Amino acid sequence: MGVLKQAYQRSDICIVTGGLGPTRGDITRDVIAGLLDENMQIDPVLKENISGYFARMGLEMPENNLKQAMLIPSAISIPNPLGTAPGWWVEKNGKIIVSLPGPPGEMQPMWQREIYPRLENKGGAVILSRTLKTWGLSEARIDELVGRYMSLPSPTLALYAKADGIHMRITAKASHKNYAAELIREREAELRQILKNNIWGADNDVLEEVTGRLIAGKKLTLAVAESITGGLLSYSLNSHNLENGHFLKGSIIANDSEVRSSLGITEGPGPSEAGLQSAVRMAAIARDKFSADIGMAIDGCTSPDQISGTAKVFIAISMRESEHQFAQAYTWRPHQLVRRSVLHAIFNLRQFLLDMQ
């Protein structure tokens, strides 16, 4: 209550997430009502929505969920298509309080569909951002290459180290949307000149999806074999390409040496040339087993090198006609191994597909 009061006194817009669940620990509604000195009442339409939700799920509605049908006179409810907790949009005394549920999967679509457009309609100066996403260069290296843009006042440039590479966010502030967009466009063109193919996407792009669209666009199919990554390569590709046709025909995950030899992988894995051969062989086996056009494999050994503390990973891509082949060894710290191997494999696949043209 103290925190929201402080925020409300110094700000025109307060955005609160969480605390909209059915339990007695969920106090956001009560706090807002208390702050504005208004009484909560059960809204009949909301009540029907929530009991309908439970009915569709074939469940009985616990009495506690009725809390989520509460409204105050200054609030309108914001529909939550993915859960039982509606949000609140409250306007009073020229100020706005927005209350959204905490689970990101519920909150984000409500923000995008309902809250952001309402706020945009309120007018004022425009701040626009665009994020360019890179892979294959360290943060310090990118800072050396584009750092000169980071001290300029507009558009600003900021770097963020994310799991899927270094992100560069360009932000422009202007009186009109079009003018801000133009500033961003110019800066983006300069950055693309410098970083070229290391930029694999922008804004909401996902590397797995960008690469999946490339394969599907070429009407090619893919099969995967993994060992040390334990299924993450397959899951990453599958989960980001749900709508994109079934270019990924199937995967094998094999760690066990008995399973490996039954598949025909006789070498490695080991920290040597043999490891690279083994990965190439795994890619070809997956490709043939699932009758796919391209096979991709990640192999390696999980135990780190005694001296350097790093571990070796082998990534291979193999085309059916076999004139196209890619194999490379990487060295990483064990804790980065799985995620980095998967992203590097997908980034390599993207380059492989781009080079085919």
Contacts with its own copies, residue ranges (CB under 8 A): 21-25, 56-59, 62-65, 82, 103, 105, 138-141, 143-144, 147, 150-151, 158-159, 161, 224, 229-239, 242, 246, 248-256, 258-259, 290-291, 302, 308-310, 331, 333, 335, 338
Are the CB atoms for 291 and 326 separated by under 8 Å? no
Give me the least distance between CB of 104 and its own copies, in Å please. Answer: 11
Q: Which is nearer to its own copies, 141 or 176 (CB)?
A: 141
Give me the least distance between CB of 123 and its own copies, in Å please. Answer: 28
Q: Which is nearer to its own copies, 88 or 247 (CB)?
A: 247
Give me the least distance between CB of 18 and its own copies, in Å please. Answer: 10
Q: Which is nearer to its own copies, 310 or 351 (CB)?
A: 310
Radius of gyration of the chain (CA): 26
Give me the least distance between CB of 25 and its own copies, in Å please. Answer: 6
CB atoms within 10 A of CB 5: 13
Q: Which residues are bridge partners to 144 per DSSP?
A: none
DSSP output for 29-47: HHHHHHHHT---EE-HHHH
Give me the least distance between CB of 303 and its own copies, in Å please. Answer: 10
Q: Which is nearer to its own copies, 108 or 178 (CB)?
A: 108
Give me the least distance between CB of 120 and its own copies, in Å please. Answer: 26
Q: Which is nearer to its own copies, 62 or 94 (CB)?
A: 62
H, E, C per residue of 99-168: EECCCHHHHHHHHHHHHHHHHHCCCCCEEEEEEEEECCCCHHHHHHHHHHHHHCCCCEEEEEEECCEEEE
Q: Which is nearer to its own copies, 11 or 178 (CB)?
A: 11
Give which of 129, 132, 128 is closest to 202, Cα–Cα.
132
Give me the least distance between CB of 281 and its own copies, in Å please. Answer: 16
- How many whole angstroms separate alpha carbon 217 and alpha carbon 46? 44
231: left (phi > 0), else alpha (psi -120 to 50), else beta? left
**DSSP code of residue 125:** -
Are the CB atoms for 235 and 226 separated by under 8 Å? no
Q: Which residues are bridge partners to 327 per DSSP?
A: 316
Q: Which is nearer to its own copies, 114 or 288 (CB)?
A: 288
Give me the least distance between CB of 113 and its own copies, in Å please. Answer: 15
Q: Which is nearer to its own copies, 31 or 90 (CB)?
A: 31
Give which of 76, 90, 83, 87 is closest to 50, Cα–Cα.
83
Are the CB atoms for 35 and 8 separated by under 8 Å? yes
Where is 136: in which H helix or E strand? none
Give me the least distance between CB of 147 and its own copies, in Å please. Answer: 6
Are the CB atoms for 236 and 296 separated by under 8 Å? no
Q: How far is CA 241 from the centre of its chain?
A: 13
Q: Which is nearer to its own copies, 49 or 302 (CB)?
A: 302
* Residue 125 identity (one-letter amino acid): A
